[in-house]
């Protein structure tokens, strides 16, 4: 059985939480990483283990405030792998792209990824930011 993967957020990296039992990945926060390959390697390794079997249902929740160009490239690679999984291994994939209602950049980023992968179910979902007390 595949174990969950949890990576706590830092000032430069997002929180990542893979729940194997639910088939769910959440990525939230900021990603200002200079070396995205090192950070995302463990995420891609876990994903490959999870996707080794055909026919899984997999949900991805992106809830990002900001990310840099290097991170955008990793997200593209990640979504491409999920797209391949959907078609080559009969997997069901849902991507939820959350954006703060006033953040036009994140809205546009989500729409761009949706355009890059029209076969994936990418839901663009606004939310209202509320400060935690």
Residue 130: its pLDDT value, please?
66
The pTM for the full model equals 0.91
Whether residue 131 is predicted with pLDDT greater than 70 in this model: the reply is: no
**Per-position DSSP letters for 37-95, written without gaps between them:** HHHHHHHHHHHHHHTTSTT-EEEEEEEEEEE-HHHHHHHHHHHHHHHHHHHHS--EEEE
26-50 mean pLDDT: 94
pLDDT band per the 50, 70, 90 thresholds, residue 132 = low
Q: What gap in Å lies between CA 117 and CA 12, rounded to an integer?
A: 27
Contacts within 8 Å (CB) and 24+ apart, 16-21 = 16/43, 18/43, 18/46, 18/47, 18/50, 20/50
Mean pLDDT to the nearest integer, 50-69: 91
What are the boundaries of each domain within the chain?
5-127
């Amino acid at each position: 059985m595949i174990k969950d993967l949890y990576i706590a957020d830092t000032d430069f990296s997002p929180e990542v939480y893979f729940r194997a039992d639910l088939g769910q990945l959440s990525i939230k926060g900021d990603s200002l990483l200079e070396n995205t390959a090192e950070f995302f390697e463990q995420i891609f390794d876990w994903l490959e283990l999870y996707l080794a079997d055909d026919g899984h249902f997999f949900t991805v929740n992106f809830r990002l405030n900001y990310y840099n160009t290097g991170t955008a490239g990793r997200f593209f690679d990640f979504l491409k792998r999920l797209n391949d999984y959907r078609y080559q291994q009969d997997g069901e994939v849902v991507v939820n792209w959350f954006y703060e209602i006033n953040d036009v950049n994140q809205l546009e980023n989500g729409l761009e990824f949706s355009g890059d992968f029209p076969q994936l179910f990418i839901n663009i979902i606004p939310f209202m930011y509320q400060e935690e007390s």
